[in-house]
Amino acid sequence: MERERKREDYCIILDFLQHGYPFDKRPSHLKTSIAQGLGVTKFALLEIVPKKDMYLQPFERVYIGDEEREEVDHVNGRIGVGRLTQTARSELPHAIKALVEEREAEFVEFFNKAQPMSTRLHALELLPGVGKKHMWEIIKAREEKPFTSYEDIKQRVKLLSDPKKVLISRILNEVEGKEKHLLFVR
């Protein structure tokens, strides 16, 4: 059995601080540029140190994997949502939305394959606005025919609001540490 990779390979830049953090008390010649990013696969919040004289733009996708990197010197590690700058915080929902749209097939597959977590709780019920009634409607619809897109889910599950918005809301709550059970964030 192949072990799941623990690290992200790419991230989306949420904010770039050319002169480092403003609260860093070191002299300016000792400060390094810092970027805050969101991992593309596991939605990890990361602190990144770009290579010297490299300027990163918000929403730029950069490689942070183990191979040779063009823009990034190293990754300092994960950071909590409390360490995000105001700019990074405001860009976070937009970055999550972009990833949910980009990875549609993967998230539609979640709706097709989600299973019970216990005898009383189904993974689908962890999505915002999805209760027992919606859960059974989703299960019944997917048994007839697997879902193919967000639009297909929207059409066949009448009472469910936009599945894309439901996923964005759930992922944002997981990233912010507001959820006990993690479905998408590691």
User: What pLDDT digit, counting tens, does each position of 127-182 carry?
Assistant: 999 999 999 999 999 999 999 999 999 999 988 889 999 999 999 999 999 999 99
Angle at which helices 104-113 and 132-144 cross, to 10°: 100
pTM (two decimals): 0.90
Q: Decide: 142 and 124 in contact? Cβ < 8 Å.
A: no
Can you give the residue range of the structural domain that contains 31? 10-85
Token pair listed for 59: 């929403």
- For 75-85, what is each residue's pLDDT tens digit? 999 999 999 99
- Kindly state whether residue 129 falls inside one of the protein's structural domains: yes
**What is the tally of structural domains in the chain?**
2
Shared domain for 30 and 66, answered yes or no, is yes
Question: What span, in angstroms and rounded, lies between the C-alpha atoms of 38 and 22?
Answer: 21
- Kindly state whether residue 156 falls inside one of the protein's structural domains: yes
Shared domain for 109 and 168, answered yes or no, is yes
